Amino acid sequence: MNCSTFNKYLKDYMEDKVFMEVKNSMDEHLKTCSNCKNIYDKEMEIDKIFHSVLVGDNISFKSSRVNIISQIDKNRYSKNPLVKLKYSLIRNRFKLMSTLAAAMFVFIIIHGNVLSKLMEKPIVSVASNEMNKDKVNEVKSEPKSEITNKKLSKEEVKQDKVMDYKSLVNELGTMNKAYENTYVPEFKISSRLQNKKYDYPSSWKASPSKKFSVLLDGKGEMLDAEGSTGIIQGALEEGTATIVVKDNKLNQYRDINIVNKNTQNSPLYLEWVDDDNLLVVVGLGHGTVVRGGNLYLLNVNTGNATLVYQTANDKEQVATVKKLDKSLELNLAVYEDDNFEKLHVEKKNITFDLITFEDMAKSSMPTGIGIIDLSSAINERDYNTAKALFLEDYDAYYKSTLGELKDIDSMKINKLIKIDNFAQAKLEAYKISEVITYCAEIEYNLQPRYQGPLKQGVNYQKIIIVKTSDENKWRIADIFTSPQS
């Protein structure tokens, strides 16, 4: 760890709000860097002084963030203005000290002039006070001004409105119902003999670390992600194709086929996300108007798949996809007429920021993010804390999406993918300061008595987390188990 990183996380480190891995790295850095040790000692001394003046909590902080949450005095979130002021002073003590020091310096310089001006003021008599009272009474008796009687504008009414987050949660749930019956292909994995002949294969595509390679057998070369000529001409061969995965180290092969139940769907295009996951365009295997379909994420080890992008209608098809740093570039084949005769190609970028379990272990995730706290609380059997992480009452609004929390033995987040916020228009009507939408790959271990929508093992879920103000921590506004095979 370098000095810049140490200073970045110093305040959280002092309050024990960093992940254990970061804490250990900062502990080691303190042992070797005298400059950072000096800064740390000074900050701790300042912190000690403020705590001695502004005693507030008597909280015994421990290493677990979940334990910290359970020991926080709920009064600190009271609407009482005095309570808010008290905790605001504690939270901003570093800025406050600098401000007080500057104010004292200015006061020392000019206090002589201020006092002299005060001495020059005439003494107000009792009679004068009585006259002022009469004036106040006169003002009170006057009719209301035009400003008082003026109707509030729509914008003023909106700002003054008390936010009903129950309505927001219900609206998000209604939006999810549109995806409940979305088609997600079922994939079957089988071993493949090394000398098995290919019917009409594409070129091999290597995974990011070159651990695996993949090709599409049965459709010929895949469309060019960089151009539009092939998409417009329709270069794909007729028929359904097989995904062939090769383990380059072990020299072993496997076939992945779509289990077609009364359908003729086929993988049409492949793009690696990492060594375990492929982006797969799936559409009809036959037909002259087929250029693509919808986009799915496929785990090549388990065969699990989930929807990534669904086109707006039959006239729009995902033809190719290219993974960029934190987004996906889609080439969409868009038909311009009802007879599917004329088409053009449109490019579209969607957010796709993959965060793996290893990234989370390195503390690259924001501290206190709702979904990570939920996992920690469930794994520590702290169900009250887990329920408190939701924007509204868990039993009333979220139990149908996760089930009884005490029937979940463990919750492990394998991957989080930051995606576009599809509910932005809904959220703009509420006082939401920040919002993040994730597609999550989460592994659940469920008790035999569990009753709910989750299945044993890996589940793909869409999760929306929000902040209602800068002071509030992240809350889970919506969690939805996506259609998956």
Same-domain status, 338 and 220: yes
Q: Which two tokens stand for residue 237?
A: 């061969």
Same-domain status, 432 and 461: yes
Evaluate if residue 79 carries a pLDDT over 70. no
Spell out the long-range contacts of 194-202 with Cβ–Cβ below 8 A and sequence spacing 24 or more.
194/251, 194/252, 194/253, 196/253, 198/244, 200/237, 201/244
pLDDT of residue 65: 39
Q: Does residue 167 lie in a domain region?
A: no
Average pLDDT over residues 34-56: 75
Looking at the DSSP assignment, which residues form a beta bridge with residue 107?
none
Q: Which residues contact 271 (CB under 8 A, 6 or more apart)?
A: 205, 225, 278, 279, 320, 321, 322, 323
Q: Does residue 163 lie in a domain region?
A: no
Evaluate if residue 293 carries a pLDDT over 80. yes
pLDDT of residue 209: 94
Give the residue with greater pLDDT, 290 vs 293. Answer: 293
Lowest mean pLDDT among 111-115, 203-207, 326-330, 332-336: 111-115
Same-domain status, 215 and 340: yes
The DSSP code sequence of 173-197 is HHHHHTTTT-----EEEEEE-TTPP
Taking the CB of residue 247, how many other CB atoms lie within 10 A of it?
A: 12
Evaluate if residue 80 carries a pLDDT over 60. no
Q: What is the dihedral of CA 375, 72, 464, 477, to 10 degrees?
A: 120
**Local structure of 420: helix, strand or coil:** coil
Q: Does residue 129 lie in a domain region?
A: no
Give the residue with greater pLDDT, 422 vs 269. Answer: 269
Lowest mean pLDDT among 53-67, 93-107, 379-393: 53-67
pLDDT of residue 115: 42
pLDDT of residue 104: 65
What domain count does the chain have? Answer: 3
Owner of token pair 């008597």: 58
Evaluate if residue 68 carries a pLDDT over 50. no
Q: In what order do the strands lie in the sheet with 457-467?
A: 316-323, 327-335, 343-356, 408-419, 434-446, 457-467, 475-481
Give the residue with greater pLDDT, 74 vs 342. Answer: 342
Q: Does residue 120 lie in a domain region?
A: no
Q: Does residue 134 lie in a domain region?
A: no
CA-based nearest residue to 191, from 249, 260, 256, 241: 256
Same-domain status, 344 and 420: no
Same-domain status, 292 and 243: yes
Same-domain status, 202 and 294: yes
Owner of token pair 């740390």: 40
pLDDT of residue 63: 40
Q: Does residue 185 lie in a domain region?
A: no
Evaluate if residue 167 carries a pLDDT over 60. yes
pLDDT of residue 287: 75
Please give the Cα distance from 438 to 457 (Å, whole number).
19
Helices 20-32 and 34-53, packing angle to 10 deg: 120
Evaluate if residue 42 carries a pLDDT over 80. yes
Query: Tens digit of pLDDT for each residue in 48-61?
Result: 776 665 554 444 44
pLDDT of residue 153: 44
**Mean pLDDT of all residues in the chain?**
76
Same-domain status, 476 and 392: yes
Q: Which two tokens stand for residue 225?
A: 């992600």
Residue 437: domain span? 365-481
Q: Does residue 267 lie in a domain region?
A: yes
Q: Are strands 327-335 and 316-323 parallel, antiparallel or unpaired?
A: antiparallel
**CATH number where 266 lies:** 2.40.128.660
Give the residue with greater pLDDT, 6 vs 205. Answer: 205
Q: Outline where 9-150 has alpha helix (H).
A: 10-14, 20-32, 34-53, 65-71, 81-91, 93-120, 126-141, 146-149
Q: Does residue 136 lie in a domain region?
A: no
pLDDT of residue 220: 86
Query: Tens digit of pLDDT for each residue in 169-197?
Result: 888 888 777 676 678 888 999 999 888 99
Q: What is the dihedral of CA 445, 450, 453, 454, to 10 degrees?
A: 0
Lowest mean pLDDT among 257-266, 307-316, 343-352, 399-408: 257-266
Give the residue with greater pLDDT, 33 vs 114. Answer: 33
Same-domain status, 341 and 391: no
DSSP state letter for 201 = B
pLDDT of residue 203: 93
Query: Tens digit of pLDDT for each residue in 431-440?
Result: 787 888 888 8
Identify residue 86 by its one-letter amino acid code: K
Q: Which two tokens stand for residue 19?
A: 């992940």
Query: Tens digit of pLDDT for each residue in 97-136?
Result: 656 666 666 555 555 454 444 444 443 333 334 444 444 4
**CATH number where 402 lies:** 3.10.450
CB 69 within 8 A of CB 387: no
Q: In what order do the strands lie in the sheet with 252-258?
A: 187-192, 252-258, 242-247, 212-217, 205-206
Give the residue with greater pLDDT, 313 vs 127. Answer: 313
pLDDT of residue 51: 61
Same-domain status, 325 and 273: yes
Task: Name the domain boundary from 93, 114, 148.
Answer: 93
CA-based nearest residue to 231, from 148, 333, 95, 155: 333
Q: Give residue 361's pLDDT band: very low, low, confident or very high (50, 70, 90).
A: low
pLDDT of residue 271: 96
pLDDT of residue 70: 44
CA distance readout (Å), 254 to 53, 216, 296: 68, 12, 19
CA atoms within 13 A on the CB side of 353: 12
Q: Is the dihedral of CA 37, 41, 43, 47 positive or negative?
A: positive
Same-domain status, 395 and 258: no
Same-domain status, 328 and 382: no
CB 406 within 8 A of CB 423: no
DSSP state letter for 337 = S
Task: Name the domain boundary from 64, 93, 122.
Answer: 93
Query: Tens digit of pLDDT for each residue in 397-430?
Result: 999 889 999 999 999 988 888 888 766 666 777 7
Task: Name the domain boundary from 48, 76, 93.
Answer: 93
Same-domain status, 345 and 390: no
Please give the Cα distance from 160 to 128 (Å, whole number).
40
